[in-house]
């Protein structure tokens, strides 16, 4: 078989160029630190690297979401704390206002401070985050959630939406609370039912907040009904200088007398139990006086402070007005306590979310390390192996070049010269 000169040249140059390409590839791997320079180098591991990179990008986004969520929740936690401080100050002022030595003017001065506290509370309810969005507006975070209307009442303009942020592959965390849940929907009274006196009472009687003694009976028989404890005062037949005071409990929803029945003897401060609840009336009710006991209603914190301000304008110059003042202050104190409890519960929820964010952030960081380690194992170059391969390719290139030099001289024309 005869081999042409051109064929010799082609066969000699091909291994040289092949080794040059391989040497250039190894050099690029070493300089870039990447073992896979293009998908064709290793299609399977290249696809795995693309998926790992996608997960790393998503994990990085989760980290940014956690930072944003922590900022919003910290702002909300601070607002709730300030709201609790305001209610605590209002509580202290209410206790002070119960001092019998105070005059109407003294109580009006207290009312002025409480009015300022109310305005501060409304400002807190309209708190914004670092991006200018309202914290307590639901999804309407660009609109002011709480505004005053004619008559001084505060209305909620937001919605019941709750913004969620994705902080993990399968984890979302709420980064806000609807304002009506935080500031508007607080159960008054003791949280289950409330008591009050009739505005037309003329005696000195007041009624306590009361408590639930039998939850099952309360749920089955009390809920959905309103009760009136009515008093009757008549002369004592045995002593014209004395009177006999009795009471009965009427279910105003069904217009019937509830147990324990009519004409029950009254003793100031003695417990009155019915339908799973227990209350007590103190003082001396007049004939025809009555007290209401009914299920608790939702009441805003602003309404609670408004009721307190109105109560402080009542004179205590007579028995009946003194009873109204004391009852109103007692009710306001109870409602403030319910409001403080409600804000503390909301603050506790925010704190638990922040704790969960810290835990999720740690999980994300550990997962990020695992992803980077796996990506390094798949796609990072082994420098010792690459350096050895480069030396091998360099040696092969030199051998190919030297052998080509010798072979190209084996031409017949070289011998005819």
Which pTM does this prediction carry? 0.79
Determine how many CB atoms are found less than 10 A away from the CB of residue 243: 14
204 falls within a domain: yes
Residue whose tokens read 């009441």: 299
Domain count, the chain: 1
Yes or no: say if 168 and 66 are a contact pair by the CB < 8 Å rule. no
Residue whose tokens read 């009136």: 228
CA atoms lying within 13 Å on the CB side of residue 348 = 6
Residue 28 has what pLDDT?
A: 61
**Better-scored residue on pLDDT, 16 or 190:** 190
Tokens of 222: 């009390």
Residue 307 has what pLDDT?
A: 94
Domain enclosing residue 205, as ranges: 193-296
**Better-scored residue on pLDDT, 173 or 30:** 173
> Could you give the CA distance from residue 24 to residue 31 in angstroms, rounded to a whole number?
10
249 falls within a domain: yes
Residue 387 has what pLDDT?
A: 61
3-state secondary structure of 236: strand
Yes or no: say if 84 and 340 are a contact pair by the CB < 8 Å rule. yes
215 falls within a domain: yes
Radius of gyration (C-alpha) of the chain in whole angstroms: 42
139 falls within a domain: no
288 falls within a domain: yes
**Better-scored residue on pLDDT, 46 or 221:** 221
Yes or no: say if 312 and 110 are a contact pair by the CB < 8 Å rule. yes
Residue 403 has what pLDDT?
A: 63
Q: Both ends of the chain: CA-CA distance in Å?
A: 25
The conformational region for residue 359 under phi > 0 = left, psi -120 to 50 = alpha, else beta, is: alpha
232 falls within a domain: yes
pLDDT in tens, 315-362: 877 877 889 999 999 999 999 999 999 999 999 999 999 999 999 999
Yes or no: say if 367 and 360 are a contact pair by the CB < 8 Å rule. no
> Could you give the CA distance from residue 274 to residue 214 in angstroms, rounded to a whole number?
10
Q: How large is the average pLDDT for residues 209-226? A: 94
250 falls within a domain: yes
3-state secondary structure of 298: strand
Q: Which of 400, 397, 399 is nearest to 21 (CA)?
A: 397
**pLDDT band at residue 380 under the 50/70/90 scheme:** low
Determine how many CB atoms are found less than 10 A away from the CB of residue 349: 17
Q: How large is the average pLDDT for residues 260-273? A: 90
Residue 51 has what pLDDT?
A: 76
252 falls within a domain: yes
Residue 131 has what pLDDT?
A: 87
3-state secondary structure of 143: coil
């Amino acid at each position: 078989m005869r081999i042409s000169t051109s064929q010799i040249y082609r066969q000699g140059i091909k291994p040289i160029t092949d080794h040059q390409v391989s040497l250039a590839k190894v050099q690029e791997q070493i300089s870039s630190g990447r073992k896979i320079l293009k998908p064709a180098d290793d299609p399977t591991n290249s696809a795995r690297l693309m998926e790992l990179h996608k997960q790393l990008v998503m994990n990085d986004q989760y980290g940014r979401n956690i930072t944003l969520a922590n900022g919003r929740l910290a702002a909300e936690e601070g607002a709730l704390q300030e709201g609790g401080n305001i209610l605590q100050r209002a509580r202290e002022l209410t206790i002070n206002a119960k001092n019998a030595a105070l005059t109407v003017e003294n109580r009006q001065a207290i009312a002025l401070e409480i009015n300022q506290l109310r305005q501060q509370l409304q400002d807190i309810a309209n708190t914004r985050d670092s991006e200018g969005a309202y914290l307590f507006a639901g999804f309407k975070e660009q609109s002011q959630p709480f505004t005053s209307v004619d008559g001084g009442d505060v209305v909620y303009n937001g919605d019941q939406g709750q913004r969620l942020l994705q902080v993990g592959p399968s984890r979302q965390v709420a980064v806000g609370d609807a304002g009506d849940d935080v500031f508007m929907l607080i159960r008054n009274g003791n949280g289950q039912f409330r008591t009050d006196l009739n505005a037309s009472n003329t005696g000195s009687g007041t009624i306590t907040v009361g408590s639930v003694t039998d939850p099952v009976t309360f749920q089955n028989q009390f809920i959905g009904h309103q009760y009136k404890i009515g008093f009757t005062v008549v002369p004592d037949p045995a002593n014209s200088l004395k009177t006999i005071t009795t009471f009965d409990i009427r279910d105003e929803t069904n217009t019937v007398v509830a147990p324990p029945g009519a004409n029950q003897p009254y003793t100031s401060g003695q417990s009155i139990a019915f339908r799973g609840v227990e209350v007590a009336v103190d003082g001396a009710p007049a004939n025809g006086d009555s007290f209401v006991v009914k299920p608790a209603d939702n009441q805003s914190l602003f309404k609670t402070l408004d009721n307190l301000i109105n109560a402080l304008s009542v004179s205590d110059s007579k028995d009946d007005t003194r009873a109204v003042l004391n009852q109103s202050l007692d009710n306001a104190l109870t409602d403030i306590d319910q409001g403080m409890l409600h804000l503390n519960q909301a603050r506790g929820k925010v704190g638990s979310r922040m704790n969960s964010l810290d835990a999720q952030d740690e999980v994300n960081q550990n997962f990020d390390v695992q992803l980077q380690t796996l990506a390094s194992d798949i796609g990072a170059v082994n420098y010792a192996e690459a350096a050895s391969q480069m030396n091998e390719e360099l040696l092969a290139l030199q051998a190919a070049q030297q052998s080509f030099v010798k072979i190209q001289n084996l031409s017949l024309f070289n011998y005819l010269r």
